[in-house]
Chain A
Amino acid sequence: MPPKAPKGEYIETDTGNKISRRSLIHGTQHIILGGKTVIQSDAVIRGDLYRSASSSASSAAAAHKPTPSMSAPAGAASASAAPQPPPSVAITIGRYSYIARQAILRPPSRLHRGVYAFYPLKIGDHVFVGERAVVEAASVGNHVHIGRDAVVGSMAILKDFACVLDGAVVAPGMVVPSWCVVGGAPARIVGEVGEGYGVEGAEGGMARERYRVVGR
C-alpha cells in the first residue's frame, strides 16, 4: 500500500461516501447521506435551507391567528421547539447516489398559507444527478437518472426508474411516473425505459460501478 496520498480529492466517510473536497455543502447537520454516495466537485448541496422551526412555527401560529405576521416567529419558535426536534432534515440521499459536478441540490419550497417554507428533499438509491443539474424535487425515487443541465422544479416528484433527459426542465410540481422518460422544456413524457432498466450493470444499474471508479 503506498503512502497515503494527501492530495486525494475525495473524502471517504465511514459509510463509504466519497465527497469531493471542492464540493460546496451547506448545513451539513441537515443532510443525511445513506452511504456510498458520491458528491463531486463544485456540487452545491443546500442543507441550510431546512424547514426552520420559525417557519413551521409561524405557520402553526398562523393557524390560530387570523393574519400571519412576521412578528410571530420570535414567540412561536420557543413554543414549537419542543414538538420538533432541532436537527430537521433538509436533504436525504440514498445509497450509491451520484451527484455530478456543479449540480445543485436545493430543498423545495413553496408558499403555503402565507408562509414561505422549505420542505425536505428526499433522494433515493442509485440516483444519478448530472452535471449542472438543479434539483428542487420533493422526492426522487430509486434508480432515477437526471441528465446533464436538467432542471427539476420545486416540489416535483420523480418516481422510481424515472429518467430525465439532458437539458430537460421538469415543471414545478410535476409527477414523473415510474419507467417514464421525460424531456424538453417544459418536460413531457416522451417515452419509457425498457423493462431491463436498472438491472445491475445495464443502463440504469451502473451506480455501483460509478461509485467504484470515483477517486481512483
Chain B
Amino acid sequence: MSRPFPYAYISCPCANTPVPDPSKKRRSRESPQKASSHHPDQPKPPPRFDDSEDEQTFDPRAPRSNFSLYPPEHLLYCEDCHQIKCPRCITEEIVCWYCPNCLFETPSSMVKSEGNRCARNCFNCPACTAPLAVNTLENVVRGGTSQQGPWVLSCGYCMWSTLDIGIKFDKPTNIRTQLAKLTATDTNPSRSRQMSRTFADLKSPLSTFSSIDEQFPPAPGEARPDDSPDQSNAPLSPDARFHALKGFYKNQIAATSSSSSDPLGVDFGAGFSSPGALNRIMSLYTSSSRLSSLYGGASKKPKTKPPVMREALTASEGFKTPAPDAEAGLIQRMAADGCGWDGLASLEQRVFQSPDARFVEELLPLATLLRTKRAKRCKSCKHILVKPEQKPQSTRFRIRLIALSYIPLPTLRPLMPAGQIPLPGAGVTSSSSSGSHPAGLSMNLDALPPLRPTQLLLTLKNHMFDPVRITLATPSVTPGRVASKVTILCPQFDIGANSDVWDEALQGNPTAAAASAGGTATSSHAPADQRSSRSGAAPATATAAAPGAPLGIFEKVAEAGKVWDKGRNWTTVVLEVVPGTLPSGSSGVTLPPSSRNPDARTTPRRTTGPDSDSDRDSDTSSFGGKAPDWTGRAAEQQQQQQQPPPPLQPDEDVLEIPVFVRMEWDSENQIDRPGVSAAGEMVKRELAYWMVLGVGRIDPSVLG
C-alpha cells in the first residue's frame, strides 16, 4: 500500500544476508551488539567505511531496497535473535482455514476435499467476482414466515444471477451441493447436459470401474451429431469426467503394477513410488540394451512382461471426443446475433471456469476460496513470533511479537518555517482544508521548494519498558541524482521508558490537550507532554497557542545539539533538509497537474498499480515534449551540455532520507520480557537498523 507523505519505512537487516543461513542465528545469539559495535558514535554517516558492505549507506532507491523496506507495523521482532524480522525472514504455518464470506472455519481434513473452497452458501460472481447473495424469486409470503419458491444466487454488483444461466435452487441452504448436482445432471434443459448421473454417484468410492461401465450406455450424446453447439459436448460434466479419468487411471495403475508387491498401489503416488514400480521402470531401460549386462543379476530371472497401460478410450472412462463440427458450432455461435462481444466470456472470467466455457452463459458461480490464519515463526531460530487465536472471527493473538513493541515508532512532521506563519484566524480554514490528513499540514509536501531549508520534526516513541539511548546518523547528502542535504540537529538523545500506558489513557481528555502546548509537535502526545515535558518547552509553545493558531507554528528556534521536545516515552528532534534540485534543472519544465494534484499525495513508488503507470507516462511525456529546450538552455547548464540527462525517473523527485538508527538499552538478562523484573543483572543491548523517511516530493517547477 502506498502511503501519504510523510512516511517512515524501516529496513529489515536481513537484506544484507540474502540467504538465511543457520549461522545467523548463532551470530546474533552470541553478541547482538557486534553488528553495530564498530559504528561511529558521532553522527557522521557510515559511508566512510566502504570496506564492508554493512557500512554502506542505505540507498532507498536501490533495487534491493524494495525488498527490505517495510512499514513499521509489518515488522516483527524475534526475542531470541534480538533482531527485526520482516516477512522475508519468517515462515508461516496455517492455523485455520476459513471462508472470508461466512467466516466459518473449515476443518483441515475437509479443505482438500472441498477444493479449498467454501462448502456452504458462499459464491462469487463469475462475471465480476463480487460475492453472490441468495435471493428468492417469489416475494409471496404464504402461511406465516416461510417463503416458498425457487432461489437464485444474484450479484449485487453487476446484477448477474443464476437465472442468466438457467439455474434455480429449491432451497436456500446447501447451495453448493445443489449446484454440483445441477451442473452434473441434466435437470435443466437449457444447460443441455446429457449426463444422467450425479456427481455424487461417481464420487462414491464403492463405484468400481465395471459398474460404471454397466451403468453408462456407450456415449449417447457423442455419437449423434447435434444441431446446438453445446449439445456436442461430452456426455459427462467436466467434474464427472475428471473423476472418471482419475478412476480409470487409478485402476490402470493398479492393474499394471505388480499388485502383489505393493498392496498400497491403488493411488497414484503409491503406484509410482513403490519399489515394484521403480523396478518396472528400470527394467524398461535395462532389458533390451547392453546395459542389462551390467545389471546382470536381474536379467537372469525370467521376467514377466509388464502389462501395458492403456489410455482412456470411451466416454465413460472420461475420454472426450469433440464432435466433428464442434469448432464450427462455436464459431457460429459467436457470430450469431445473440452473442456478440458481451456474450463471450473474458479471459479473466475463463481462468476460473471449466476450459470448455467460452460464453457468458456457461459461467458457473464460483465457490468462495478459503483464506487462512497463519502463525509466524522466525526462520532462523524457529521461535513463534505471531500466533493468532484459532477462531476465524477473533482478532486477538496468543503471541504477537511485533517490532513496534521494541523499536521506537518514528513519526515525521514538517515544522513550519518562521517566515510562513499565516495570519492568526486563518487557522480555522487551514485546518479544515487539511482534510483527512491527520497532521494537518500547512506545508505542501507534494511540492517541496528546492534549495530552501526545511525543518522536520522526527518523533521517536519508545514502547519498551526500558529507557533507550538513540543515535541517529544520516548521510549528509541523500544518495541518488537528487542530492538533498540532510542534517540531524540532535543526533544523540534518550527516550524515556514506556512506564505505564494507563497514565496516558486516563489523561487523554481533550481539555488537557488543548491547554497544553498548541501545535502538532505535542498534539499526539499532549497529555504526556503536559506532565513530563521539560519546563523550558512549555512557555515557548504556549505563546503560540493563540486562538485558531495554525498547526505547527512555533516561535521556538531549533538549536543544534538540543532535542526539540521530550515527553515521557518520546523525544522529538529536528531534521534540517535542503531539498536538491531535480536533475532536469530547468525551471520551465512543469509536470502536468495530474502529478501534483492532491491525488498524488499517495506515493505509488512501491506499488505496481495503475497509479505508477500513469505517473510514469505523464512524466515521460512531459519531458519528451520539452526535449527541444535542452539545447536552448545548454549555456546555463554546462554540466548538461554534453548530453541531456535522462529524464526524471518515476518518483525520483520523492525526497527520501535514509537514517541509521542505533538504539542501546539495558535489559534484564534471562528473559527479555520487559517489565517482568527478573533477578538477572542488567545487560546492555543494542539494535541497529536503517529507516527511510519519506518527506515529500520536490517541486519541479521552482528553481532556487
Contacts and interface: CB of A to CB of B under 8 A. Distances in A.
A165 interface: yes
Contacts of B509: 16
B524 A208 contact: yes
Contacts of B448: none
A153 B524 contact: no
Nearest to A36: B510
B156 A216 contact: no
B660 interface: no
Contacts of A188: 129
A100 B435 contact: yes
Interface in A61-110: 62-64, 66-68, 98, 100-101
A131 interface: yes
B1 A181 contact: yes
B219 to A, nearest CB: 41
A201 B250 CA distance: 59
A113 B157 contact: no
A169 B142 CA distance: 36
A175 B99 CA distance: 10
Nearest to B513: A212
B73 A100 contact: no
Interface string B140-161: 1110110100000001111000
B426 to A, nearest CB: 11
A114 B157 contact: no
Interface in B642-667: none
A154 interface: yes
Given A8-B428, A63-B145, A201 B411 contact: yes
B436 A113 contact: no
A178 B391 CA distance: 12
A48 interface: no
Chain A residues touching B, range: 35 or more
A172 interface: yes
Contacts, number: 176
Contact of B371 (A148, A177, A181): A177
Given A63-B144, A175-B100, A178-B395, A196 B75 contact: yes
Contacts of B1: 163, 165, 181, 191
B139 A113 contact: yes
30 contacts: A2-B546, A5-B548, A8-B548, A9-B432, A16-B510, A41-B432, A62-B141, A67-B140, A114-B139, A128-B436, A159-B393, A163-B1, A171-B156, A173-B156, A174-B131, A177-B100, A178-B393, A181-B1, A189-B100, A189-B371, A195-B74, A201-B524, A202-B409, A203-B3, A206-B438, A209-B439, A211-B510, A212-B523, A216-B548, A216-B550
The 4 closest A-B pairs by CB, nearest first: A196-B73, A194-B74, A172-B156, A171-B130
Given A201-B524, A204-B73, A216-B549, 16 more contacts: A5-B547, A12-B510, A101-B435, A114-B141, A159-B395, A172-B157, A174-B101, A174-B131, A175-B102, A178-B395, A194-B75, A195-B73, A195-B397, A196-B75, A199-B73, A202-B404
Interface of B: 1, 3, 70-76, 98, 100-103, 125, 128-131, 133, 139-142, 144-145, 147, 155-158, 371, 376, 386, 392-393, 395, 397, 400, 402-404, 409, 411, 427-428, 431-432, 435-436, 438-440, 461, 508-510, 513-514, 518, 520, 523-524, 526, 546-551, 602
